[in-house]
Structure 1
Amino acid sequence: MPPATRSGGNAKPSSSKRTLEDDVDSSDDGSSTKPEAGQGTTLQSLLTRALGGVKELERENEALRKKVNALESRLDRVVEQDDAPQQPRRRSKKAPATAAELRSQVTQLQKQVGRLEKSKEKYRKRVHQLSMKELKSEAEDLLDVADLEVGDSAHVMRKLLRRFSDLMLTNSLDGDEQCPICLEHLQPKLTRSLPCQHIFCNGCLGQLRPVPGGDERISCPQCREVCEREDADLVEYTALEQWDELVEVATQWVRIDVARREEDTSEEEGAVDFIDDGLEEESSTTASEPPAANPLESSPEPQREVEQDALPPTPSRLRRRRAVASPTPEAESTDNDNPVKVEPDMPLAAFAESPKQEQSSTPPLTPHTPTQQEQSTPSYSQSPSKDKRKMLEQLAEARNKKRRF
């Protein structure tokens, strides 16, 4: 066992526990010099310290408990507010309006009603203009369809007429015409014409103030005539350009009209033979009717006597009529029993020796001399178109009468 040193034996511990142990050891060995009163003071101080710490902890615990209670109560209030139904906030009562304020409100409302009525009238006029424009376009389309059914030339001529009318009604610029307001030279497509035919540039026309009581109604600066701003038409041509357009439209019209006249003339000339054949048929079948003054008298067919017209239409008579009407030397005369042909080289004596029965039944072949009335009346081919149409109508009436008999 190592020897105990002085330093080790005399070292004093820092804690109270070691002090008590040392005191006990010293009391057992009998080497301690402190009395028992000192030991009691040390224990009392330790207990006092312990009690003070406990009380401090209790105070802290009580403060924490109070904080917890306050937080719990606050949390309960928040939960109750969330669960409770929300009530609308009460509006603050305003003071009743005075009579002056009410009158001002009524005046404002009346002004607003007036503005709304003006805008309504404006839109109503605009709708009317658009509807009329649409109806006009539909009518033009229907006319175009009808013209196409009649013929291409009629359709084109109708369009040219409408174009010519629009050009005549359009206002144009004269030479070096100036704006009456700004005195600038007017240019096509940059100027507008009012219904009173006064022309202004677009800039000056847009700066005109509306008349009192009308939003879009303006007054002409020259004649003071009131009109709608939308009624101002755009000027697209000068006087020279307008004249050139009119000449071009007229030229196209004349070209189409000449072509149509040529077609009508060719069709009417082709109908001459039809009219002549109808004359032969009518003269051979109508016996009781006296000859009336009609356009058929001017036909190139020779006139027949009433006795000859009363005879039945036989092939021999028809051939003889053709022989009389034709200026050629060849002629054929046939009978029901003995046909006799007249050749170009046959002498007239041989023709004279024909049977007497044939001579008695056949009139002499003499050329027909037209009367004075026939000479004064022009032929069908030389008559104008108006007379030709009348002749055709009279021929149709005569044929209807013939069918009735």
Structure 2
Amino acid sequence: MNEWAGGLASRVSSSQPDVAANVDPPIPVPDVAGADATRGGLPRRVDLTMQQKLIVDSSAIADLGLRTAIASLVGAAMLPRVASAALRPRDTRAERDAASFYAELGAAKDPELSFPAPTEPPRVASRPANPIAEWTAHGPVHNIRFRSSFEAINPTVREKRRGYERNNVVHAQHWQHGDGPRPTLCLIHGFMGSAYLFNGLFFSLPWFYRSGYDVLLYTLPFHGRRAERFSPYSGYGYFADGMSGFAESMAQAVHDFRSVLDYLEHTGVDRIALTGMSLGGYTSALIAAVDDRIQAVIPNVPVVTPDAAFDDWFPANLLVKVGNRVTGTNREESAAASAYHSPLNYAPLIPKDRRLIITGLGDRLAPPEQAELLWRHWDRCAFHWFPGNHVLHVSQPDYLRRMTRFLRPFMFS
């Protein structure tokens, strides 16, 4: 097991333009064309071809079932907290105080205040990954971990958050070439979707690796090996502690990823692109407003206003309403508190020409209107749509080609 600690090393330039020129990922899924949005935004239904309409409609129906299943799991995580608030007035006051705390932070619109940077680089331990990971990447792969230096933003929950031992160890998987640091593509997974193998295959990361990138897969708080013992599923902890729990999980996700950036920088990486799906898209968009070391950012099917998106997430939406009624929190107060961790609340630090948003027209977990809100906030940057839903990314080769063309000037110039 190898360890390193210390200051940041000087940046080392890295370039592989010959291998990065390929823009045709060879993956066996239907290659149905999507397109970039116009200045007016996403296409109208009348603008779609018959094939695209059929795919959008059928994938939207499939997404409704998935949304209900996920909302049921989220609701199960929320239920004990709602019940506790209903039975114990002290917990009710705590929820109201938490809402006021995060609303005040959000109103300041100051990312440095909301998301303080790590004060020291992480002490990273690295060990070779299993043979399946190396077979998938067709190259050397290491699993890394380090102790999180995150302290809860809200002082009243710091002691409780420190007690999450497994969650406070950060995990990631790093695919590296053997000839020194390369431009690195970082991926943040979606809710419940932390498995490295799944994400590597879903996003064709072996192809990006063969195209010249190093790859890093980052594990969000309470997911995978960061899930607390006896958690019923990966990601359970995000919703188990009410409004403050979700806010602090988002803050920790940002903080720990910035420690990952410190690690990459220390190893000589000078070009880093970030993409993420769903909750990972939400997180990547937020990171783009907090840390300017990212060369390019690509949120994929992101949610950007969770409080509004939850309105359609039956049965979790019922528990949100019950919880707000029990604590006496109205919709405006809840939205103000949620603004604390929304990328819509902060100006992006990444230049406009280095932002690309991807959305599926049939998505019903993170409806395309959510991505369109981010697009408008991001000054109508590059915006690509595909005719599929949240997890059935029909025409994925089309948007992977779009990603490749978008990234090449920043990563391999």
Q: Is the TM-score greater than 0.5?
A: no
- Larger strand proportion of the pair: 2
Task: State the TM-score, normalized to the length of structure 2.
Answer: 0.17
Task: State the TM-score, normalized to the length of structure 1.
Answer: 0.18
Higher RCO structure, 1 or 2 (CA under 8 Å, sep 6+): 2
